[in-house]
Amino acid sequence: MNSIKKLIIFFLVLFYCRIEAKVFKRCELARALKNVYHVPSNQLATWMCIANFESHYDTSAINTSTGDHGLFQISQIYWCSNSRNPGKSCNTQCSKFRDNNIRDDVACAKKIYQEHQRISGNGFTAWVAYNRYCRGNVSQYVKGCF
């Protein structure tokens, strides 16, 4: 009887602790960013380019070398906490950036953007993908989506 209880508890913990992730289709993400999360139209293609190169639109993406998490590869060094308590500048657990709810991802990415905009004059420079791949014309990342 004791082993059955342990087995049931194990499966309940597994069920409730499971992180549901999502790999967005390109236009699906573009429409969500614009219509649900109100990303400005003049920034949308750049955000899409960053999400493409940082995570391939996969909310479960994690870079174990750098400690970056989720769709926009948000850094655990400055922006999120690996402890059970929310923390750092976005006041969020890093694991929250790896689920299928991107509301907190977008809010934190906007905060990162604003902070870097204040510091450098270009908020997108916070992302390596922007510096390498997303400067200039990135309209192909929203082409045919609207």
CA angle 102, 106, 108 (to 5 degrees): 115
pLDDT band at 40 (very low <50, low <70, confident <90, very high): very high
For residues 49-69, average pLDDT: 97
CA quadruple 40, 142, 35, 32: dihedral sign: negative
**According to CATH, what is the number of the domain 21-141?**
1.10.530.10
CB atoms within 10 A of CB 85: 8
**For the CA atoms of the chain, what is the radius of gyration?**
17
Give strand pairing partners of 58.
23
pLDDT band at 54 (very low <50, low <70, confident <90, very high): very high
Contact 75, 87 (CB under 8 A): no
User: Which H helix or E strand runs over 133?
Assistant: helix 128-133
User: 60 is written with which tokens?
Assistant: 């479960």
pTM, full prediction? 0.85
Residue 63's φ and ψ, nearest 5 degrees, are -105, 105
The domain limits of the chain are 21-141
